[in-house]
């Protein structure tokens, strides 16, 4: 039964392959006026220490900009890690640990600017993870259709205050819906049950039904304390139709979890419409065939039944006559 199912799916893939259209073009985005590096800072500090760091701002555009630099708290909510840059009540405001010699700078077109800043860890800080964001924002606002727009880029600071702290986490799930529209997407969920962040590394491979590798996915993410993070590998520009297998592994802390292979049938809305039309046509053809063949079949059956009845009735009458004659002779 399984072999027949695989044969059917391969045949369907082969038949519909000509209809496959590469995934839709993504929406165009405006040119980025500023770039910053690093996009994140991962560092450890002892309590009561001070450290000087640097963030680099690049202006690849053709116009100079006034920029301002500042720090905000950083936290997340939900498994999709919706970002929050506002202070949390009754929580340490880590942005207060950051100081800048200047808050306003000017960067010319094509210039690279290095901005120093200082991190001062309070002696009262708790051991474990602490988080903030350094923002670089254009001071020259753009006005588009009455909407004031500021370009803002952020660098997330993942800070660890040294000391005794629990460092633990769990793998929760590996989920891949069987029937999908482009782009092909999977989901891995990892939980941090400790008091400090840790990094996860996800590797995934997508193959077609013939075992040919179509796409490889690699990403690293920080998992914050007491949170669950959903990491979703996506195959961009997935073909409109195909049967694929996705598998991989995820590493975090001292754990390596193998993600077993799962099959995915990708069908765009257009391909689904074609399949539905084919199913309807086949259903109509079957109904018509049954009706026409059914009428002829019933007529033939009635004729055969009548013939059999006549043949069976005739011999009985002859036997009865013969017996009657013999008795009369005696």
185 and 117 both lie in a single domain:
no
Distance from first CA to last CA of the chain, Å, rounded?
73
Give the Cα-Cα-Cα angle 108, 42, 37 (nearest 5 degrees).
15
Q: What is the pLDDT of residue 307?
A: 57
Q: Is the peptide bond before 183 cis (omega within 30 degrees of 0)?
A: yes
Question: 282-326, pLDDT tens digit by residue?
Answer: 999 999 988 887 655 556 556 655 655 545 555 555 544 544 444
Q: What is the pLDDT of residue 35?
A: 94
114 and 207 both lie in a single domain:
no
41 and 153 both lie in a single domain:
yes
**pLDDT bucket at 126, cuts 50 / 70 / 90:** very high
Strand partners, 157: 41, 132
130: in domain:
yes
Select from 308, 328, 204, 197 the least CA-distant residue to 264: 204
40 and 93 both lie in a single domain:
yes
Domain extent, residue 79, equals 35-139+149-161
What does pLDDT average to over the chain? 84
Cβ-based neighbour number of residue 161 at 10 Å: 21
Strand partners, 42: 158
For residue 96, give the H/E element and its range. none
**pLDDT bucket at 48, cuts 50 / 70 / 90:** very high
The answer to whether the pTM exceeds 0.85 is no
Got the DSSP string for 199-257?
EEEEEEEEEETTS-EEEEEEEEEEE-TTEEEEE--EETT--SEEEEEEEEEEEETTEEE
C-alpha to C-alpha distance for 192 and 185, rounded to whole angstroms: 23
Among residues 245, 270, 295, the one where a domain terminates is 270
> Mean pLDDT lowest for which of 55-69, 86-100, 132-146?
132-146
Got the DSSP string for 119-187?
EE--TTPPSEEEEEEEEEEESS-EEETTEEE--EEEEEEEEEE-SS----EEEEEEE--SEEPSSEE-E
**pLDDT bucket at 179, cuts 50 / 70 / 90:** very high
| CB-based contacts of 66, cutoff 8 Å, min separation 6 | 104, 105, 106, 138, 139, 140
230 and 245 both lie in a single domain:
yes
178 and 110 both lie in a single domain:
no
C-alpha to C-alpha distance for 178 and 266, rounded to whole angstroms: 8
Arithmetic mean of pLDDT, 194-223: 97
Is 90 exceeded by the pLDDT of residue 184? yes
Question: 229-284, pLDDT tens digit by residue?
Answer: 999 999 999 999 999 999 999 999 999 999 999 999 999 999 999 999 999 999 99
Arithmetic mean of pLDDT, 149-154: 82
- CB burial of residue 264 (10 Å; 0-12, 13-18, 19+): buried
318: in domain:
no
328: in domain:
no
Arithmetic mean of pLDDT, 110-130: 96
212 and 263 both lie in a single domain:
yes
C-alpha to C-alpha distance for 244 and 101, rounded to whole angstroms: 55
Select from 35, 37, 40 the least CA-distant residue to 222: 40
Ranges 8-17, 24-33, 215-224, most confident: 215-224
Per cent of the chain over pLDDT 70 is 76
In the chain, how many domains are there? Answer: 2
Among residues 130, 161, 192, the one where a domain terminates is 161
315: in domain:
no
Strands of 128-138's sheet, edge to edge? 40-45, 152-161, 128-138, 65-73, 104-107
55 and 171 both lie in a single domain:
no
Q: What is the pLDDT of residue 151?
A: 81
Contact 94, 130 (CB under 8 A): yes
Strands 147-149 and 227-231: unpaired
242 and 264 both lie in a single domain:
yes
327: in domain:
no
94: in domain:
yes
Return the structure tokens found at 138. 């254009």
Distances from the Cα of 219 to the Cαs of 188, 203, 233, 248, in angstroms? 12, 7, 8, 12
41 and 156 both lie in a single domain:
yes
171 and 155 both lie in a single domain:
no
Return the structure tokens found at 166. 């629990």
Question: 79-107, pLDDT tens digit by residue?
Answer: 999 999 999 998 899 999 999 999 999 99
Q: What is the pLDDT of residue 3?
A: 54
157 and 183 both lie in a single domain:
no
Q: Is the peptide bond before 38 cis (omega within 30 degrees of 0)?
A: yes
* CATH value at residue 256: 2.60.40.3880
């Amino acid at each position: 039964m399984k072999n027949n199912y695989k044969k059917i799916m391969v045949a369907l893939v082969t038949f519909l392959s000509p209809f496959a259209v590469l995934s839709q073009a993504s929406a165009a985005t405006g040119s980025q006026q500023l770039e910053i590096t690093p996009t994140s800072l991962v560092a450890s500090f002892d309590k009561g220490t001070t450290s000087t760091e640097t963030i680099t701002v690049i202006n690849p555009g053709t116009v100079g900009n006034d920029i301002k630099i500042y720090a905000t708290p950083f936290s997340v909510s939900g498994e999709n890690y919706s970002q929050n840059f506002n202070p949390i009540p009754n929580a340490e405001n880590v942005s207060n640990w950051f100081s800048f010699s200047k808050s306003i700078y000017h960067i010319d077109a094509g210039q690279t600017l290095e901005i120093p800043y200082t991190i001062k860890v309070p002696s009262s800080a708790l051991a474990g993870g602490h988080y903030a964001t350094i923002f670089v924002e254009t001071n020259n606002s753009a006005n588009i259709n009455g909407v004031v727009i500021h370009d803002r880029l952020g660098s997330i600071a993942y800070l660890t205050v040294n000391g005794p702290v629990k460092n633990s986490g769990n793998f929760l799930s590996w989920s891949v819906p069987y029937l999908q529209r482009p782009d092909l997407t999977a989901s891995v969920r990892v939980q941090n049950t400790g008091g400090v962040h840790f990094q996860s590394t996800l590797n995934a491979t997508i193959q077609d039904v013939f075992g040919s590798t179509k796409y490889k996915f690699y990403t690293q993410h920080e998992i914050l304390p007491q949170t669950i993070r959903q990491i979703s590998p996506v195959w961009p520009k997935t073909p409109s139709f195909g049967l694929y297998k996705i598998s991989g592994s995820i590493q975090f802390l001292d754990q390596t979890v193998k993600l077993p292979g799962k099959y995915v049938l990708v069908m765009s809305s257009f391909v689904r419409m074609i399949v539905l039309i084919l199913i309807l046509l086949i259903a109509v053809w079957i109904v018509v065939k049954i009706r026409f063949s059914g009428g002829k079949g019933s007529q033939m059956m009635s004729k055969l039944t009548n013939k059999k009845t006549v043949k069976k009735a005739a011999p009985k009458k002859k036997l009865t006559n013969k017996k009657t004659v013999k008795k009369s002779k005696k």
